[in-house]
Amino acid sequence: AAGERSSYTIVDHTYDAVVVGAGGAGLRAAIGLSEHGFNTACITKLFPTRSHTVAAQ
């Protein structure tokens, strides 16, 4: 109802680019965008050292 407080804090994240996937290509894209001044987020479903790129090694 009106006036009730939320049980959690809402945080607003604003990015110029969001890269989905942190394999070799995703990380390279995120780094390149960041190096060119874009506020960039990189998200992945796996722990970074468990990507398919690492598994291929």
Residue 52 lies in a domain: yes
Q: Could you read off the pLDDT tens digit of each residue along the chain, which spans 57 residues?
A: 566 777 889 899 999 999 998 888 998 999 999 999 999 999 988 776 666 665 555
Residue 8 lies in a domain: no
Number of domains in the chain: 1
What does the longest C-alpha to C-alpha distance in the chain come to?
Answer: 55
pTM attached to this predicted model: 0.67
Residue 29 lies in a domain: yes
pLDDT value of position 5: 74
40, β-bridge pairs: 17
Residue 11 lies in a domain: no
Domain holding 25, by residue range, is 17-56
Tokens of 2: 């009106």
pLDDT value of position 55: 58
